[in-house]
Amino acid sequence: MSTTSLAQPVKKAKKPKELNAVSPAANVIMHAVFILLCLTVLIPLWVIIVASLTPEMELIEDGYKLYAKSLTPEAYGFLFREGSIIFTAYKNTIIATLVGMALSVVSISLYAYPLSRKEFRFRRFFTFVSFFTMLFNAGVVPFYFVSRQILKIDNSIFALFLPLSFSAYWVIVMRTFYTSNVPDGVIESARIDGASEWRTFIQIVLPLAKPGLATVALFSAISIWNNFFNCMLLVDTAEHYNLQYMIYSTLSNARFLSEMATQVSSLGETIARLPTNAFRMAMAGVTMGPIILAYPFFQKYFVKGITLGAIKG
Amino acid sequence: MAKQKALNIRQRGSLRTDLAYLSMLLPGLAFMFCFNYLPMPAIIMAFKRYGLAPVPKDFPIQNRFIYSLFVENPWVGLQNFQFLIRTPSMGDYVRNTVGYNLIFMVVGTVVAVAIAIGVNELRNRLAAKFYHTVIFLPYFLSWIIASYVVYAFLSTNGIMNNLLVNFGGATIDWYRTPRYWPFILIFANVWKHSGYSSILYLSTLTGFDQEVYESAAIDGATKWQQIRYITIPLLLPMIVLLQILAVGRIFGSEFDMFYSLPNGSGPLAKVTTTIDVFVYNALRTGAQLGLPSAASFFQALVGFILVLTTNFIVRRFDADMALF
């Protein structure tokens, strides 16, 4: 707070923050803390990328470091040349993400719309039907048996996206989005003009709800891309693995092997011949790569989705 | 005339309107039926001795699982739960689940609120936005990626050990030393989630009336006093709401994190195994399905009761803070 800006009402109107801003010293301390926090995010990602570009022998001799003496894209080349299993996992993940994203946008936007319409007679009942799934969850064991024994989606690509396609949470967010962003008057005038409910929804409501749809699409894509549990639970066949499970299983082997190597020195030689460490870090790199590259462009939708979810409907 | 008719439709809802709306619900209903409601009857597994039996030809539903569970398998009362309680280390699993959740609630809330206030107070808006964008990023990375990061730092020739050697210390075998892991797990959890929850707090903060702060400043309130007596009380409804949600999940855990970060290392099991991890391991070894089904049933029921109870209590205090 400074008395000079108090005397200047014009400035105050322009930048109300300045009147009551934090002291310069506190400001510097806050910057320092935030830079430290940002480093806890950026350094780990940096480490993975550096390790994936470090020659295998250097990784084995010097271990993981923040910098490499020399860089080589060898691990990435190896990944795309011989790693047919990586290719399959990548393909599965991309297909599952795209199909699952489409399914969730369609099912969620359709389910949420009638719940936002006051004239729908069963609005309360169907709101409860979806809300109840957030309150009560049967648990992993029933889900496991129903998926495998009744729905029979195990050992197929369906296991990677079908259980994740619909979410009551996003139904509530979309419903809030419709009620706050699609004016009642617009829908009413469409109906007065004789448009059916489906036509009103597709031609009038959906175009107005695009930012909401984008948010649902992005969050569902991320949840399918990052999902590891359903693959581990329902998929036993390597040709249907997704990326996350694929890289999880190789990391567990890596740790096991390197611990063995420190105990039995002769094993060290065997491991040295495989570009295991850099190769695995390259796998992590290509798994998180698309998300990190897309993140800056879509960040505002993510923020929007989270803040919308916080509004009680 | 036409307008009058349309208004009537809007007010009362005609059969045609309702049918159109019902047809829109169908895809969502199909998903919820398959993955939410269909598994619900199967929770009776917790009270049965499960085993797959062949279906007789005259049984109407030709599905081995449905026939076995609802017809063939004998009821065993609470036997599965008795076995569950007698499972060695069950106390550890419950302690880990509830204990970590409580710590995450406290530490996570403090860090997220601090980040939100900091981002809100920084003079340089561009820098504030940049910081927040970066801090939010881990939320979108999987726990598997996080476990790679942990591995790069803590493996025998990882970054931490290299640093220790550089500073003249001895290396630590992190994956075999349980005492560090509570801290590693807490750090990892806060690292991944504080960006997300701080967005919720920040969106509440930016909605506040700035004049309140200005008049407080004119009255001589320091920044610290403003935070203590204005910001925190204003954030309280959001803090309470998030705690209700967290209490409802207190017997659950983020499976991916507890399963992937320790990387299956045996010596760490005592401090990293939660009920969810136990359920998964018991389910996949498949020897005694009664145990995971009983544990799973317990989690589902207690979670349900906890959400309803905390919401009820909160509503008694302040209806606006309650979830429903």
Q: Which of A113, A244, A302 sits opposite B24 (nearest CB)?
A: A113
Q: Pick the residue from chain B with its C-alpha nearest to A248.
A: B144
H-assigned helices in chain A: 3-6, 9-14, 16-19, 24-53, 56-62, 74-81, 84-116, 123-135, 140-145, 158-161, 168-181, 184-192, 197-199, 206-208, 210-226, 229-234, 243-263, 265-273, 276-309
User: In this complex, how many residue pairs, one in chain A and one in chain B, have their CB atoms less than 8 Å apart?
Assistant: 319
Q: Is the pLDDT of residue B323 over 80?
A: no
Across the interface, whether the CB atoms of B121 and A21 are under 8 A apart is answered: yes
Query: Which of A183, A207, A177, A185 shows the shortest CA–CA distance to A311?
Result: A177
With CA atoms as reference, report the closest residue to B264 among B156, B157, B136, B176.
B176
Residue A154: count other Cβ atoms within 10 Å of its Cβ: 18
Residue A135, amino acid? L
Q: Identify whether the C-beta of residue A200 lies closer than 8 Å to the C-beta of residue A191.
A: yes
Residue A228 has pLDDT above 70, yes or no: yes
Q: Is the dihedral of CA A174, A178, A180, A181 positive or negative?
A: positive
Q: Which fold has domain A83-313?
A: MetI-like fold (1.10.3720)
Best of B81, B136, B144 to substitute, by most chain A Cβ atoms within 10 angstroms, is B144
| Sequence ranges of the domains in chain B | 46-77, 89-321
Q: Identify which of A16, A110, A142 has the shortest CB distance to residue B42.
A: A142
Closest CA to B300 of B46, B38, B31, B34: B46
DSSP summary character for residue B227:
I
Residue B324 makes CB contacts below 8 A (sequence gap 6+) with A131, B311
Shortest alpha-carbon distance between residue A183 and chain B (Å):
15
Region B69-73: what's the mean pLDDT? 90
**Residue A10 pLDDT > 50:** no
Is pLDDT of A161 > 90? Answer: yes
Distance from the B169 Cα atom to the nearest Cα atom in chain A, whole angstroms: 16
Residue of B nearest to A159 (CA): B35
Stronger pLDDT, B129 or B12, i.e. the higher one: B129
Kindly state whether A199 is in contact with chain B, defined as any CB-CB distance less than 8 angstroms. Answer: no
Three-class secondary structure of residue B75 per DSSP: strand
CA–CA separation, A85 and A245 (whole Å): 12
Could you tell me which chain B residue has the CA closest to the CA of A226?
B142
Interface of B with A in 141-180 (CB under 8 A): 141-145, 147-149, 151-153, 155-159, 161-162, 175
pLDDT at B3 over 60: no
Distance in angstroms (rounded) separating the CA atoms of residues B277 and B94: 11
Q: What is the DSSP string of A137-206?
A: ---HHHHHHIIIIIS--TTSTHHHHGGGS--HHHHHHHHHHHHHHS-HHHHHHHHHTT--HHHIIIIIIH
Query: Residue A155 and residue A233: Cα distance in Å, rounded?
Result: 10
A240 touches chain B (CB under 8 A): no
Structure-token match 């998926």, residue found? A147
Position B176 pLDDT exceeds 80: yes
Out of A241-255, B157-171, B286-300, least confident range: A241-255
Assess whether pLDDT exceeds 70 at residue A11: no
Contacts of A131 in chain B (CB under 8 A): 324
Give the residue on A whose Cα is nearest the Cα of B226: A20
Q: What is the value of pTM for the model shown?
A: 0.88
Check CB contact under 8 Å for A258 and B175: no
* Predicted confidence band of residue A115 (pLDDT cuts 50, 70, 90): very high
Kindly report, residue by residue over B111-162, the tens digit of the pLDDT: 999 999 999 888 888 999 999 999 999 999 999 999 999 999 998 889 999 9
3-state secondary structure of A63: coil
3-state SS, residue B48: strand
Locate the chain B residue with the closest alpha carbon to A218. Answer: B140
What number does CATH give the domain B89-321?
Answer: 1.10.3720.10
DSSP assignment of B237-281 equals HHHHHHHHHHHHTTT---HHHHHHTTTT-GGGHHHH--HHHHHHH
> Is the Cα dihedral B304, B309, B314, B320 positive or negative?
positive
